Amino acid sequence: MPHITVLDKNTIDKIAAGEVIERPASVVKELLENAIDARASAVTVEIRDGGTSFIRVTDNGCGIPKEEVALAFLRHSTSKIQSVEDLFTVSSLGFRGEALSSIAAVSQVEVITKTSGSLTGTRYQIEGGTEKTLEEVGAPDGTTFIARNLFFNTPVRKKFLKTAQTEGAHVADLVEKIALSHPEVSIRFIQNNQNKLHTSGNHNLKDIIYTVFGREIASNLLSVEAAGEAVSIRGFIGKPVIARSNRNYENYYINGRYIKSGIIAKAIEEAYRPYMMLHKYPFTLLHFSIEPEFLDVNVHPTKMELRFRDGERIYQMILSSIQAALSQKELIPEVELAEKERKLAEAGKRLPSSDQRKPAALEPFEVNRMKQLHITPLERDKPALTGDCKSRHTLFGKTSAAGTAERSFASGQGGIGEGPGLYAGKKAYEEPLQAKEESIPEQLDLFNGRLLEPESRKRHKLIGQLFDTYWLVEFDGHLYIIDQHAAHEKVLYEKTMDSLKSREYTSQAVNPPIILTLNTNEELLLTKHMEYFTKIGFEIEPFGGKEYAVRGVPGNLFSIAKKELLMEMIDGLSDDISVSSPDIIYEKIASMSCKAAVKGNHQMSAAEANELIERLLTLENPYACPHGRPTIISMSKYELEKKFKRIV
């Protein structure tokens, strides 16, 4: 068998470097964090060829004394900690003392540094872990690190790097994240001699968000600020309208360090769950200040992961802080209709009168749409309200079908808009809105009166029902469109939650019982939470093997308690966050109640709609159904007038 030997220092250094330096972005991370730890107020990062051939990080920090420069490149040399006890109180970004040693082991490094009390600076060169030169030079205060030819002595690892564009993108993403974590530091990023990022260092986090993420994100932010014992939170979260399909926009920092945490991510997404659709994720940029003794950052060599001493406490604080921020705003999405292309508008114009006229050229998608509607290009130009077409139009609540059907939503006083109606109508705006600059769709913040405030209800004007699914309400220069199904789901959900929490429920027998076949994990979850199921009206008992018989269910769920729904509820209990209350059970049960909601394509009477809207407006969060779909959207009077060319 092979003999046991001790590896030489060169091999050890390269193996250790592999744990810390994975790609050019790893080098930039370590050097940029060192610059910030050196109390720099300005840092410039420059790369070429994605960082594989050249990386330079220059700062105006405290510098390194000449006698300590070579020492800084030894393994486990650090100024951040002195003993093992310091690991539990460390607050700097780096502390292990592995970064410079690891970088020097796999690249050609040059450092020029000067402290404020020195007359001259120091230039030090080290390649592949071997010292080359150490000399005095003229230099400004601060430090410049240059790393050339990354992995020049480990060609196998170099082959695993991606293209220069991909590696450069990783570096850019990293620099942006660190810039967002330190708004007090001016950070410039140069890639292949082009300026890609420059932050001002003016301490204004919102300015950096605008610089990095753009106007859409910056104009749809909600402020978050909370403080507790040993923990504080500040930063911004996005309104639900800027949801994304991945977690890339969930950014959070602990004591200035960008990290990933399952507990924090779970708290964020749980807070947003009532406002956001499934598989959509919010924008967050949150800074946490946590006393170091509550953390263990010494988990992963890159320090991207950490452990909390009291994870449940952190979870609850994050959850409540974000919920509070979301509940303070009226989060109704405002719809802005896109302008049709000029070609399509021109194609829709009437052609000169001629027996031999030809239809105007059509866009491909317009042709397809006409085929779906069985319309020929010439029929497109005929007046819309003639012949049989007229019988298919519904206008102001009156449906003309063979000239007989007419519906009135006013209180016996003719069609919609006539008489007092269900709501005391507000007088329409007498003056047209002034033309304003084009803007992107934003989540509404109604400063002059909110749709969902009690004092605003008397000014709501109910217009009618559209497509047997949506209810239209006019208020304060906006048209609000309410989805009756989503709204009813939300009302039922909140009603069920209230009754469960106040213990206003009964149990109703199920005969024959519902038989559930559970796997080991499902059985464990059911057993763990059985007391909560029992308290709210379920009667569940073993039925042999891995089967359980459900012999009773809460009375308000009797009509919808099916096997599939019960299994879905149990599956939903799989959670990495332990709970000490039955809230999670309540939420799953309440979600089941949504199945009883009125569906779309269902004609509701005006009285039913009025009652539904009244109940919706009393909820704390009426803006989205339990599955995250919006219950209400809006369109401004200005947008409508623009489409009708009243405003040019």
Whether residues 142 and 234 fall in one domain: no
CB 321 within 8 A of CB 252: no
Q: What is the pLDDT of residues 499-539, one digit of tens each?
A: 777 766 678 899 899 999 887 778 887 888 888 788 778 89
Contacts of residue 358, defined as CB under 8 A and 6 or more positions apart, other chains included, come to 351
188 assigned to some structural domain? yes
For residues 50 and 84, membership in a common domain is answered with yes
Residues 25, 170, single domain; the answer is yes
Q: What is the DSSP letter of 350?
A: P
Q: What CATH number does residue 140 fall under? A: 3.30.565.10
pLDDT at 609: 83
Residue carrying the six token digits 């959850």? 319
- Residue 10's pLDDT is 63
Q: 440 exposed, middle or buried (CB, 10 Å; 0-12, 13-18, 19+)? A: exposed
pLDDT category, 362, cuts 50, 70, 90? very low
Contacts of the segment 640-647: beta carbons below 8 A, 24+ positions apart: 640/479, 641/432, 641/433, 643/337, 646/432, 647/432, 647/433, 647/435
Structural Rg of the chain based on CA atoms:
32
- The CATH number covering residue 285 comes to 3.30.230.10
Which amino acid appears at position 49 of this protein? D
Three-state helix/strand/coil letters over 54-118: EEEEEECCCCCCHHHHCHHHCCCCCCCCCCHHHHHCCCCCCCCCCHHHHHHHCCEEEEEEECCCC
- pLDDT at residue 549 tops 80: yes
* Within-domain flag for 216: yes
Q: What is the DSSP letter of 420?
A: S
- By mean pLDDT, which of 38-52, 194-208, 209-223, 617-631 is the weakest? 617-631
H or E, element range at 551 = strand 547-554
Q: At what angle do helices 606-617 and 484-501 cross, to 10 degrees?
A: 50
Per-residue pLDDT of 6-48, as tens digits, reads 556 666 665 555 556 889 999 999 999 999 999 999 999 999 9
Residue where a domain stops, chosen among 268, 298, 329: 329
Give the domain extent around 131: 9-198
Smallest Cα–Cα separation from 500: which of 569, 549, 548, 453?
569
CA distances from 284 to 22, 263, 311 (A): 27, 15, 20
Q: What is the pTM of this model?
A: 0.59
Query: Hey, how many other C-beta atoms are within 10 angstroms of the C-beta on 396?
Result: 14
CA distance 512 to 429: 61
Q: Which residues contact 277 (CB under 8 A, 6 or more apart)?
A: 243, 627, 628, 629
Q: Tell me, yes or no, whether 395 lies in a domain.
A: no
Q: Which residue has the tokens 């990023």?
A: 189
531 Cβ contact list (under 8 Å, min separation 6): none
User: In this structure, are 320 and 434 located in the same domain?
Assistant: no
Helix/strand/coil (H/E/C) assignment for every residue in 358-405: CCCCCCHHHHHHHHHHCCCCCHHHCCCCCHHHHHHCEECCEECCCCCC
Q: How far is CA 47 from the centre of its chain?
A: 30
593 φ, ψ to 5°?
A: -65, -20
Q: What is the DSSP letter of 281?
A: B
Of 275, 295, 329, the position where a domain reaches its end is: 329
273: which DSSP letter?
A: G
Interval 287-307 mean pLDDT: 70
What is the average per-residue pLDDT within 358-387?
Answer: 40
- Total number of domains constituting the chain: 3
Please tell me the predicted confidence (pLDDT) of residue 284.
96
CATH code of 525's domain: 3.30.1540.20
Q: Residue 171: which pLDDT band, with cuts at 50, 70 and 90?
A: very high
One domain for residues 168 and 221: no
Reading phi first (left if > 0) and then psi (alpha if -120 to 50, else beta), residue 104 is in alpha
Listing from the earlier edge strand, what are the strands of the sheet with 461-466?
A: 461-466, 470-475, 478-483, 632-636
User: Does one domain contain both 261 and 167?
Assistant: no
407 located within any domain: no
Question: Do 13 and 149 have their domain in common?
Answer: yes
Structure tokens at 212: 């990095």
State whether 194 and 78 are in the same domain.
yes
Q: Which residues neighbour 19 within 8 Å (Cβ) at sequence distance 6 or greater?
A: 98, 102, 301
- Is the pLDDT at 437 greater than 70? The verdict is no
* Residue 346 included in any domain: no
DSSP codes joined into one string, 440-506: ---EE--TT--TTSGGGGGG-EEEEEETTTEEEEEETTEEEEEEHHHHHHHHHHHHHHHHHHTT---
Assign 629 a pLDDT band (cuts: 50, 70, 90). confident
Structure tokens at 160: 């695993």
* Pair 519, 647 in one domain: yes
Looking at residue 111, its pLDDT comes to 95
pLDDT score of 504: 65
- Chain-centroid distance of CA 295 in Å reads 25
For the four alpha carbons of 358, 361, 363 and 364, in that order, the dihedral sign comes to positive
Q: Which is more confident, 313 or 144?
A: 144
Structural domain contains residue 138 = yes
Q: What DSSP state is assigned to residue 341?
A: P
Cα–Cα distance measured from residue 64 to residue 56, given in angstroms and rounded to the nearest whole number: 17
What pLDDT is recorded for position 66? 92
Average pLDDT over the chain, rounded to an integer? 75
Sorting pLDDT into bands at 50, 70 and 90, what band is 5?
low
**Ramachandran class of 575: left when φ > 0, alpha when ψ lies in -120 to 50, beta otherwise:** beta
Which ranges in 106-247 belong to alpha helices (H)?
Answer: 155-159, 164-181, 205-213, 215-218
Do 477 and 597 belong together in one domain?
yes
pLDDT in tens, 55-92: 999 999 999 999 999 988 886 555 444 443 444 444 44
Last residue of a domain, one of 329, 351, 369: 329
Of the candidate ranges 151-160, 439-448, 509-518, the one whose mean pLDDT is the lowest: 439-448
Contacts of 516 (CB under 8 A, 6+ apart): 547, 548, 549, 550, 563, 566, 567, 570
Give me the long-range contacts of 541-544 (CB less than 8 A, separation at least 24): 543/513, 543/515
Is 412 part of any domain? no
| pLDDT given for residue 85 in this prediction | 43
Lowest mean pLDDT among 30-34, 346-350, 462-466, 481-485: 346-350
Residue 107 corresponds to which tokens in the numbers above?
């690249």
Query: Does residue 470 sit in the same domain as residue 599?
Result: yes
The two three-digit tokens of residue 615, written as one number: 């109940």
Residues 242 and 296 in one domain: yes
- Identify whether 357 is part of a domain: no
Per the DSSP assignment, residues forming a β-bridge with 188 are 44, 198
Burial class of residue 559 (count of CB atoms within 10 Å of its CB; 0-12, 13-18, 19+): exposed
CA distance 375 to 72: 78
Give me the mean pLDDT over the 141-160 stretch.
92
